[in-house]
A = this chain, B = another copy of it.
Amino acid sequence: MDKTILPCVIGLGYVGLPVFTRLNKVYKTVGYDVNAERITSLKKKIDLNNEIKKKDLKLANKSVITKNKSHLKSCNFYIVTVPTPLINKKIPDLRFLQNAIKLISKFLNKDDFIVIESTVYPGVTKLYAKQILERNSGLKLNKDFFIGYSPERINPGDKRHKVQNIKKILAIETNSKKAFKRFTNVYSKITKKIIISNSIEDAETAKVIENIQRDLNIALMNDIFLFSNKMGLNFKNVVRLARSKWNFLKFNPGLVGGHCLPVDPYYLSHLAKKKKIKLETVLAGRSVNEKMKKVIYEMIVKKISYIRKLKKNCKTLIVGVTYKDNVPDLRNSYPLSIYLKLKKRFSKVFAYDYICATKDQKRFNILNKVNSINKFDLIVFLVKHNKNLQILKLAKKNNVKVLDPFNFY
């Protein structure tokens, strides 16, 4: 139990990289990822997600960033930060997690520690520890090795709530004081304040309900947004009035994409379905939030069609195509999919996004800058990146028609 702590972070994406950079400051840390491109750019001290600064990617304490599995051999504190997405948009896809645990099981030694940070449904962490780790290693949980669960709370694009200055749950079920100390010792290097849970399942549940609550509240605002539009009410005014009540919660309607909100409700509902437990609210927001993609697409189509009646064509510019404000990520982005769908239907549909990666800009034909605004007939705002305001100003100055479906401005 006294051997030096040698951490390994498996998965260097939005979740793993900040954890790695924190541990790198203190321990000889292995940062492992299967994605060769990601490893190459991280080695050049470039985080294409724009989350971690160059100086924080400087390796210390003989740490390494690698796609080479053999580096895991020397480690004794594994942190798993791989994605847990959906299969067919509905069913939990635990394959990355399974592969990561299998990989660890090959190198697992006595007194090793594992912490899972990936979002799962209640029961997964211990099931995997039992089934995969015990079987493949021949070691026993809570006797030979220890497992914890510390759900990630990464909020891409949020400069304030970084892993080092938030409260972070750490669920530990061992009775060993030494093991407990080792868990908290390492996690105190990662985060500002550890919130201990003596139940892993409780922590797994807490994680998913955080995002379900958010998803549901945005869905309610989307519902009211759609209702207001159909009834000819001024949604912006309705919300302003409601917000004048002391306890009205500030949520905005929008295109809910990304890897958490559209995903986590299905994790909980998947388990509930298996256990035949009826959950009435958990998925209630999903269909509204899904529907918004189609609604906004049709709103733009209507506008383009109207302009095309007046003049032969309509040169349209979609401003912002990532899944969220000020984030370069295009995975599960509704604005991107709206843009691509419009492009198929109409000629002269363009997109502008200064934040998404050069590689993605090339791949999807996304403009990096707008040279002359007045060659467009319609500007559509789908994501509120900070600098998009400049485009709005230009559009207004040049009398170009603007569609701002969510009243960003």
Hey, which bits of chain A sit against chain B, CB under 8 A?
A: 122, 153, 161, 166-167, 169, 195, 197-199, 201-203, 205-207, 209-210, 212-214, 216-217, 219-220, 223-224, 226-228, 230-231, 233-234, 237-242, 244-249, 268, 272, 275, 277, 279-282, 284-285, 287-288, 291
The complex places the Cα of A281 from the Cα of B213 at a distance, in Å, of 12
* Nearest CB on B from A173, distance (A): 13
B199–A233 touching, CB < 8 Å:
yes
- Whether A281 contacts B206 by the Cβ 8 Å rule is no
CB neighbours (8 Å) of A282 from chain B are: 220, 223
Instruction: Name 16 extra pairs, CB < 8 A, besides A167-B246, A169-B244, A202-B233.
Output: A153-B245, A169-B241, A195-B240, A197-B241, A199-B237, A202-B238, A203-B241, A205-B224, A205-B233, A205-B238, A210-B242, A212-B220, A219-B281, A230-B275, A231-B277, A280-B284
- Asked if B248 and A210 make an inter-chain contact with CB atoms under 8 angstroms apart, the answer reads yes
CB distance from A154 to the nearest CB of B (A): 12
A sample of 12 inter-chain contacts (CB < 8 A) reads A153-B245, A166-B245, A201-B231, A202-B234, A205-B231, A210-B242, A214-B247, A216-B220, A227-B277, A227-B279, A231-B275, A281-B284
**Residue of A169, A206, A210 most packed against chain B (CB within 10 A):** A206
Q: Are B195 and A241 in contact, CB atoms less than 8 angstroms apart?
A: yes
Residues on the B chain within 8 Å of A242, using CB: 206-207, 209-210, 213
User: CB-CB < 8 A to A195: which residues of B?
Assistant: 240-241, 244
Q: Are the C-beta atoms of B281 and A220 separated by less than 8 Å?
A: yes
**Does A227 lie within 8 Å of B272, measured CB to CB?**
yes
Tell me, in angstroms, the Cα distance from A142 to B160 when the chains sit together: 51
Q: CB distance A213 to B205 under 8 Å?
A: no
Which residues of chain B have C-beta atoms less than 8 A from A288's C-beta?
280-281
Q: Is the CB of B284 within 8 A of A237?
A: no
Contact partner of A230 (CB less than 8 A), chosen from B201, B227, B277, is: B277
The residue on B at minimum CB distance from A170 is B241
Residues in chain B near residue A199, CB distance under 8 A: 233-234, 237
